[in-house]
Chain A
């Protein structure tokens, strides 16, 4: 137990783009383009991961053990081409959860200070 904590801590806080990628994979494995599409849709196109950013992140997260490569298979919703799929590792899942919990605490604190849902009084 004690050995895992330092591992988790060392990954936090995640950059926003990294969290978006982990979040996209939270509900199952996806290929790179699907990750990009989901992030774009979820953020109403406010966050658009370019190819360098996305695959730079994937490379680092594979190296850090947050992601795992799966097999290559075609995506039926696209063309016939074989695509490489990625999924969260156990560590990746824990890191994503820890980051979400960290942000939840921040949201709770913001709510307590009445920052959410109100405009500032002049």
Chain B
């Protein structure tokens, strides 16, 4: 029994000794066991507690001393590794450069992903804030006021719910020039939903949204800084917004930016945020939407539970109000998702691209290490002969790899910082939170992690590979004759094939985006953007309360601007191309009636008579509007080709009647007087939608964009146009003064950015892959010099040798391209939403890129092949 007990204790002690490095154990392990055995023998004679204390002391001693033994070895290996790297500085430089590119690209892109997608919103418990979206048969719609009130009253899952109606407004007063601002009419509970407190003053209270309350406003931090110079005394001061006086009651902190880029929040006139046109008692409006809605989940309530609750409410409303709510439904999504969901695909594609670049860089470095392993074979053979175990040597090689990886990581951090600065300059404004993008501790931690991971990835296989094999052979002859060399060659070839495959995937993705971008650039928008200046006016104040007063102002602006030399024509429209106009449900006279929420929709815009002329949009049939199409004349409308094809496929629509409004449940008919050509009114990528144009003189139009067709560079007329407007009324700010070309460039910025980024990364990947091919082929040639010498001595001509080497390179390239094509077929599916006019499996792009890569790869093989063809057979045969 005592012997069994002793051997169990020995085994336990031996297991504890495994905390020490193998080297230390092999040197002192036996003595440590002997000593401990003796001590146990001595303790056995005494109290049991003495034996227990011996074990405790021994375990504590091992725990405290083992790490320093490991550190000792690490220092030794690190010192040796640094000396080795210094001796082979060429290799070190190439490896560090490759890693720096890979790590740097990852650092830059991860910074963006971290700041935009991963960082939580700067609101309290932001994961509990949701957006409730409403949908009709026509697609996503804004929420109707009456529905909002019912949701707020009937739900069981939200602790607060708020509605917002956003628009542009004119801010005057406070001794500064009139300014166009982003105004949000918001429920008093908005800041409760966001979980924020004002920087100074107070937030809204429920009294602020009751009828007859004093108009109050809360100013955003950025407006407070830019317009009011961070005036500490702003709270309590008056502001004039669209001619109405408001008292500033609070200033929000800098991080409160909801809705995006908001300047001022005001509370509703009565309970529900109103639009800027008079719609009467909007709490009763259920037929069309005005609002966006946010809410805060009660503690413990999940998103899924809130969706179930909203679905119940929706069903009840559908039964109660079939006419307006029959086809409406709603979805509850996290605020984070609604703000950043659209940009997620682009960013994740970029993250995948830089990950691929890093993998290629690792493969390159692994290849370099494998190439060097033949040179180090003798060194390792000697160490093995002197007693070093395989694991000890692998440990040392891994330490060198980790050092290389950390050096590459440090260089990568520098590349990443520079790259990030450039990226932020080029980033389109559609990327949210661009101003928050920075290198923080998470990014530093990520950089360190990927550096360490790359060290393991590129270091392990070569370390294991080089320590395999018969070292006796290495000691006898040169490294060339090493057994295990063939295994190393196939690993190197596999790495090169992987590099070629990955870089092909990236190149194809970039190629598809590039083609998509070119197609988008050449899309005919349906109008002529050349020599067109645009601006936006929203007259407000006591002189413009009436629709007719506003219309008169627009008319005067058009007449004044038309008098400028070099102005060909001037038109006006309520919402310019590339901005969403209200999607209005309509009914065609003679067609069967449908409930409100099931009506088809068209973009409804109000225009001046010369609009089509100014935009060079063709009129395909009928007539244009004239000044006689005013409030006293019968209602008229011009529809576009898309709407005409949809509703009147076999006849001329002119003369038919259509209605967008109802009065006392009767449609207000408008006669179709013309058909205009299609334009891409929402985005270049989307097919033209149904458009209906009505005369501005027959409608309430709170603001209009002016399109000024010029005979010269439109930008040169900007100040003259502004001067004409100021001359008419200096209280009315001119905003969005830009050329149509500029507007189209802005629309192209996101696809341009995607293409540029992916093009850059795929270019880096291709260069790294080519370097990999070159290195493998050059090494192969140097290894086969003796064989080449024999072949030439036996009659092979230089061009036969050339063909042999090039064929070897071609086989690697072909294998890589074959695998890469399959990989690309899978990967490009993820690009779907980013492509336009080109399919993710476009054969032309696939074939073209594959041929390009094949050609440059052959070039990379050709240089070493040329060298092989020039081998002197006599010298080669003498070489051992």
Contact = CB atoms under 8 A, between A and B. Distances in A.
Interface stretch (A20-28, A48-56, A101-109, A114-122): A48-56
B27 A59 contact: yes
A51 B36 contact: yes
Contacts of B68: 56
A25 to B, nearest CB: 15
Interface in A34-65: 36, 48, 50-56, 58-59
Contact of B32 (A48, A51, A78, A81): A51
A11 interface: no
B35 A33 contact: yes
B576 to A, nearest CB: 78
Nearest to B66: A52
A13 interface: no
A50 B57 CA distance: 7
Nearest to B16: A51
B351 to A, nearest CB: 45
Interface string B29-66: 00110111011000000000000000001101110111
A54 B32 CA distance: 9
B76 to A, nearest CB: 10
Interface string A81-102: 1011000000000000000000
B20 interface: yes
A52 B57 CA distance: 11
A8 B417 CA distance: 49
Given A55-B28, A56-B69, A50 B60 contact: yes
B321 interface: no
B24 interface: yes
B65 A32 contact: no
A48 B65 contact: no
A56 B62 CA distance: 10
Given A48-B57, A56-B68, A59-B24, A84 B62 contact: no
A55 B34 contact: no
Contact of B58 (A33, A51, A55, A81): A51
Contacts of B24: 55, 59
A58 B39 CA distance: 19
A57 to B, nearest CB: 10
A52 B61 contact: yes
Contacts of A83: 31, 34
Contacts of A51: 32, 35-36, 58, 61-62
A50 B61 contact: yes
A59 B344 CA distance: 57
B30 to A, nearest CB: 8
Given A51-B35, A52-B20, A58 B28 contact: yes
- B interface, by DSSP: helix, strand, loop or mixed? helix
A84 B35 CA distance: 11
Nearest to A81: B34
Contact of A50 (B27, B31, B38, B58): B58
B31 A53 contact: no
A58 B27 CA distance: 11
Given A52-B20, A52-B66, A78-B38, A32 B61 contact: no
A31 B35 CA distance: 9
B65 A56 contact: yes
Contacts of A78: 38
B65 A52 contact: yes
Interface in A68-84: 78, 81, 83-84
A100 to B, nearest CB: 26
A78 B62 CA distance: 25
Given A33-B38, A59-B24, A78-B38, A52 B64 contact: yes
A31 B30 CA distance: 12
Contacts of B64: 52
B32 A55 contact: yes
Contacts of B34: 32-33, 81, 83
Contacts of A50: 57-58, 60-62, 65
Contacts of A33: 31, 34-35, 38-39
Nearest to B61: A50
Given A51-B36, A78-B38, A81-B34, A59 B65 contact: no
Contacts of A81: 34
A59 B58 CA distance: 18
Contacts of A36: 35, 39
A52 B66 CA distance: 7
B20 A32 contact: no
Contacts of A58: 28
Given A50-B62, A78-B38, A55 B31 contact: yes
A83 B32 CA distance: 11
B143 to A, nearest CB: 70
A3 B566 CA distance: 95
A84 B27 CA distance: 11
B57 A53 contact: no
Contact of B31 (A48, A52, A84): A84
Nearest to B32: A51
B537 to A, nearest CB: 83
- List the 6 shortest-distance A-B pairs measured between CB atoms, nearest first: A50-B61, A52-B65, A33-B35, A51-B32, A55-B28, A32-B31
Given A52-B65, A53-B61, A78-B38, 17 more contacts: A31-B31, A32-B28, A33-B31, A33-B35, A33-B38, A33-B39, A51-B32, A51-B58, A51-B61, A51-B62, A52-B20, A52-B66, A56-B68, A58-B28, A81-B34, A83-B31, A83-B34
Interface of A: 31-33, 36, 48, 50-56, 58-59, 78, 81, 83-84
Interface of B: 20, 24, 27-28, 31-32, 34-36, 38-39, 57-58, 60-62, 64-66, 68-69
26 contacts: A31-B31, A32-B28, A32-B32, A33-B31, A33-B34, A33-B35, A33-B39, A48-B57, A50-B57, A50-B60, A50-B62, A50-B65, A51-B36, A51-B58, A52-B20, A52-B61, A52-B62, A52-B65, A52-B66, A55-B24, A55-B32, A56-B68, A56-B69, A78-B38, A83-B31, A84-B31
